[in-house]
Amino acid sequence: MDPAAKNAPAPPTRVWPATGEVAPTPRNERRIAFEPMTEADLEQVHVLESATYAHPWSRKHFHDSLQAGYPAVLLLGEALPHERQPHAARADGRLLLGYLVAMPGVDEVHLLNVTVAAAHQRQGWARFMLDALALWSRGQGAHWLWLEVRESNTPARRLYERHGFSQVGLRKAYYPAGHQRREDAVVMSLNLARATMAEDPA
């Protein structure tokens, strides 16, 4: 063994289970890929975020998450012939289908943001990203995956429940709701040791 290798820096830990092309879902035959979110992506990410939510994350939220080193990834897919979505297209012609941001802890991971573009919702992408996050979290030694969701967001709560999440608490007045009002957040958790997930997308 080369003595210099002993003092060489360790290779960086992968922040996601897959980069480059990954298999399409059964409901959508487009080629897709996970790629790390970078500062150069924030303009497009914030446009999608603002188009999706009444109370979106600010660009600074994403910037601060990247600066903190949180896992943040884009889900990119090739544009199909019938699609005309210039706002979602990148320089390479691929579309931004969605993204997620998470915060690792000692033995848990906190999902901070998972978003699917409106034009690509109800195609299985949210579950696909949740599966990938759960697999990555288990690989990091995490036992639990946590998230908050608006109490009024019934579709999202049902999605998380179908994925195996259970309600474990309530954070009062957690989210802004407009007109100086606040909305409660439902706290949900997933026991990663018991979770049943799709095959590793890597």
- Spell out the domains of the chain, with CATH numbers in brackets: 18-191 (3.40.630.30)
Amino acid at the residue 128: F
- How confident is the model at residue 90, as a pLDDT? 80
What pTM, to 2 d.p., does this model score? 0.81
Residue ranges in the chain assigned as alpha helix (H): 3-6, 42-52, 59-67, 125-139, 154-162
Share above pLDDT 90 across residues of the chain, in percent, rounded to a whole number: 61
Q: How far apart are CA 17 and CA 199, in angstroms?
A: 12
Residue 89 has pLDDT above 60, yes or no: yes
Contact between 37 and 64 under an 8 Å Cβ cutoff? The reply is no
User: Tokens at residue 185, please?
Assistant: 């957040």
139 dihedral zone (left: phi>0; alpha: psi -120 to 50; beta): alpha
Residue 3 has pLDDT above 50, yes or no: no
